[in-house]
Amino acid sequence: MKPIYLDYNATAPLLPQAKEAMLAVMDAPMNASSVHRFGQEAKKQLNDARAEILHAVGADGHQLVFTASGTEANNLALQALPDVDTVFVSAIEHPCILKPAARLKASMIPVDSKGLVSLKALEKMLQALKAEKGEGAKALISIMLANNETGVIQPMKDIVALALNYGAFVHTDAVQCLGKIKLDFAEMNIDMMTLSAHKAGGPLGAAALVAKHGLHLRPQIMGGGQEKNYRAGTENLPAISGFAATARYVAASLIAPNLRDEMEAEMQKIYPAVRIFGLEAPRLPNTSCVAIADIPAETQLIHFDLAGIAVSAGAACSSGKVAVSHVLQAMGAPEDSAKCAIRISFGRHTTREEIKIFLTHWKKLINTLPNSKVIAA
Ligand code: PLP
13/348 Cα distance (integer angstroms): 11
User: For 46-92, how does the pLDDT look when each residue is reduced to its tens digit (9 = 90+)?
Assistant: 999 999 999 999 999 999 999 999 999 999 999 999 989 999 999 99
User: For 187-229, how does the pLDDT look when each residue is reduced to its tens digit (9 = 90+)?
Assistant: 999 999 999 999 999 999 999 999 999 999 999 999 999 999 9
What average pLDDT does this structure show over 12-19? 98
* 134 Cα to the center of ligand 1, angstroms: 35
Does 374 or 180 have the greater pLDDT score?
Answer: 180
What average pLDDT does this structure show over 369-373? 77
* 178 Cα to the center of ligand 1, angstroms: 12
| Active-site amino acid positions | 317
**Which amino acid residue places its CA nearest to atom 12 of ligand 1?**
70
User: For 340-353, how does the pLDDT look when each residue is reduced to its tens digit (9 = 90+)?
Assistant: 999 999 999 999 99
Judged against a pLDDT cut of 70, whether residue 377 lies above it is answered with no
Of ligand 1's listed atoms, the one at least distance from the Cα of 207 is: 15
* 133 Cα to the center of ligand 1, angstroms: 33
Burial readout 116-126 (b: 16 or more C-beta within 10 A, e: otherwise): bbeeebbeebb
One-character DSSP codes across 322-367:
-PPPHHHHHTT--HHHHTTEEEEE--TT--HHHHHHHHHHHHHHHT
Mutate to test the pocket of ligand 1, among 75, 93, 94, 325 (most ligand atoms within 8 A of CB): 94
**Which amino acid residue places its CA nearest to atom 5 of ligand 1?**
148
Residues with Cβ < 8 Å from 284, sequence gap 6 or more?
Answer: 146, 151, 153, 176, 177, 180, 181
Query: Residues lining ligand 1, CB < 6 A?
Result: 69-71, 74, 94, 96, 144, 148, 173, 175-176, 196, 207
